[in-house]
A and B are shown apart, each in its own frame.
Chain A
């Protein structure tokens, strides 16, 4: 199974602050996804990213969120002004071309105080 890492593993921030979560895939991944999971709740899709462009996004992914692949390697999720309700696990997932299986990274636990 191809590996991906996420940094940081845990981020604590104050309400209103900006956070950047990072996903570092291996180089031959083209398809990336961000999901979140609020404690005790279901996994929710945020956004998919293909060929350096957003291909789909959910209603959760509003103007406070953005994604980019700034250096062709790291894949980042930015939350501009965090709210208490943004506290959750954020998972990066990746998919190889030619398959539909999505593999999840270990996640970043975001705590907004």
Chain B
């Protein structure tokens, strides 16, 4: 079975740093994705981790620990436009289907 957990909601202040955690228990693992989804829109690809460690891409970084079944997305220098849902998704061994968590709704306040 697949189980992916994320906090439902988070609030942070403009200009600050926020870390969104994701834990997973899956029957197979072949990579973890983070997507951003604004209300009423499609998910937008942010990052892909398959090896342990930190991947940095501009203001966004993603970390993976396969032994702990744990990932986080780090957003720096928060902007109002970062208010969105952030979706954690796992790619299993059998193929390329993605299993998504419920998403974390991030609200950035002035």
- Interface residues of chain A, those whose CB is within 8 Å of chain B, are 1, 31, 33, 35, 41-45, 48, 55-56, 58, 91, 95, 100-107
Partner of A45, one of B41, B45, B98: B98
Partner of B96, one of A31, A104, A106: A31
Interface bin, chain B: 20 to 34
Min CB gap A10→B, angstroms:
11
Q: List 7 A-B contacts (CB under 8 A).
A: A33-B98, A43-B100, A45-B97, A56-B96, A56-B97, A100-B48, A107-B41
**Tally of contacts, chain A with chain B, CB under 8 A:** 58
B110 at interface by CB-CB < 8 Å: no
> Is A102 within 8 A of B45, CB to CB?
yes
- Interface residues of chain B, those whose CB is within 8 Å of chain A, are 31, 33, 35, 41-45, 48, 50, 87, 89, 91, 94-103
- The residue in chain A whose Cβ has the minimal distance to the Cβ of B4 is A42
Q: How far is the CA of A31 from the CA of B101 in the complex (A)?
A: 22
Q: How far is the CA of A101 from the CA of B100 in the complex (A)?
A: 14
> Is B45 within 8 A of A103, CB to CB?
yes
Q: How far is the CA of A41 from the CA of B85 in the complex (A)?
A: 12
Q: How far is the CA of A45 from the CA of B96 in the complex (A)?
A: 10
> Is A43 within 8 A of B97, CB to CB?
no
